[in-house]
Amino acid sequence: MIRHAVLQFRPEKGQIQANLARLTEHLKALLPHAPEVVVLPEAALTGYFLQGGVRELALTRHELLELLSEVHRRAGYEGMLDLVVGFYERDGGAFYNSAAYLELPHRVVHVHRKVFLPTYGVFDEERYLARGQRVAAFDTRFGRAALLICEDFWHSVTATIAALDGAQVLYVPAASPARGFQGERPWNVERWRILAQAVAAEHGLYVVLSSLVGFEGGKGMSGGSLAVGPDGRILGEAPLFEEAALLFGLDPARIPPVRYDSPLLSDLEAGLPLLLDDLTRVLGRRA
């Protein structure tokens, strides 16, 4: 069983040092639970709606590792801690909405750059950011995982690629403004739950959503982080609109029997090559 904690985090917009100090206190509070993997939301170190401020606040991968290694030390962790964190990344002259999987205090394991940049409604990402161009699973000390950021997860093809690439866990940092109040929960929170359960059950893997909270420019981030098992059942769910720590364990040994009973992923592996000509044909129409 791999001990996980989702930190449903509320950053102060644009205040990296203050957010690192608050993260340190949150990690100190988690020490008695001895988490092995801690998962933070999208843009957790700066807040989401930065617009042109991305240029001043974006970090290189090396800078990110240095800052979070110091957090790891100050929080009192003596052993290794795996951390998933959303951040704005600077690489040369380009800027990305990225998420990193780190083995603190020493190593950046993988960085995913958000492919689908929403530029509609309250969103304006593509005006300020470059698109990522890859979805790939990667090896951690606990098994194989993949990262998707917010809207990336709303397109079924990304989770499919990650699953076919061997991912056992999908980590999804998100920043989702509350909208569509028609019942007890905002529409977007219900949509996240439906998507997470459907993706987990289709591919027989774990889905871990870590969602930002707080208010930025009058827009309230909804929270509602959750963890879903490979059979599509919700393992735990955080409250709405407030900081919280969601604690749960992931058991990789649960995946093979679930996939045996519901072999959708193996069916996909067998059937997808038959559809590649059609995929090429459809994409060719848009060239």
Confidence label for 217 from pLDDT (cuts 50, 70 and 90): confident
Confidence label for 47 from pLDDT (cuts 50, 70 and 90): very high
Q: Which amino acid is at 282?
A: V
Q: Tell me the CA end-to-end span of the chain in Å, nearest whole number.
A: 47
Residue range 12-46, pLDDT digits in tens: 999 999 999 999 999 999 999 999 999 999 999 99
> Stretch 200-222: mean pLDDT, rounded?
95
Residue range 239-278, pLDDT digits in tens: 999 999 999 999 999 999 999 999 999 999 999 999 999 9
User: What is the reported pLDDT for 287?
Assistant: 62
Contact 48, 212 (CB under 8 A): yes
In this predicted structure, the answer to whether residue 222 has a pLDDT above a threshold of 90 is: yes
Residue listed under structure tokens 């992923």: 265
In this predicted structure, the answer to whether residue 8 has a pLDDT above a threshold of 80 is: yes
Q: Say what percent of the chain tops pLDDT 70.
A: 99
> Stretch 53-70: mean pLDDT, rounded?
97
9 three-state secondary structure: coil
The CATH number, out of the four listed (3.60.110.10, 3.20.20.20, 3.40.630.10, 3.40.50.2300), of the domain defined by the range 2-285:
3.60.110.10
Q: Measure the CA–CA gap between 162 and 151, rounded to whole angstroms.
A: 15
User: What is the reported pLDDT for 160?
Assistant: 98
The residue ranges of every structural domain in the chain are 2-285
Residue range 134-178, pLDDT digits in tens: 999 999 999 999 999 999 999 999 999 999 999 999 999 999 999
Kindly give the residue spans of alpha helices, DSSP state H, lying in 31-81: 54-57, 61-74
Residue range 110-124, pLDDT digits in tens: 999 999 999 988 899
Sign of the CA dihedral running 272, 110, 124, 223: positive
User: What is the reported pLDDT for 219?
Assistant: 87
Cis before 35 (ω within 30): no
pTM of the model: 0.97
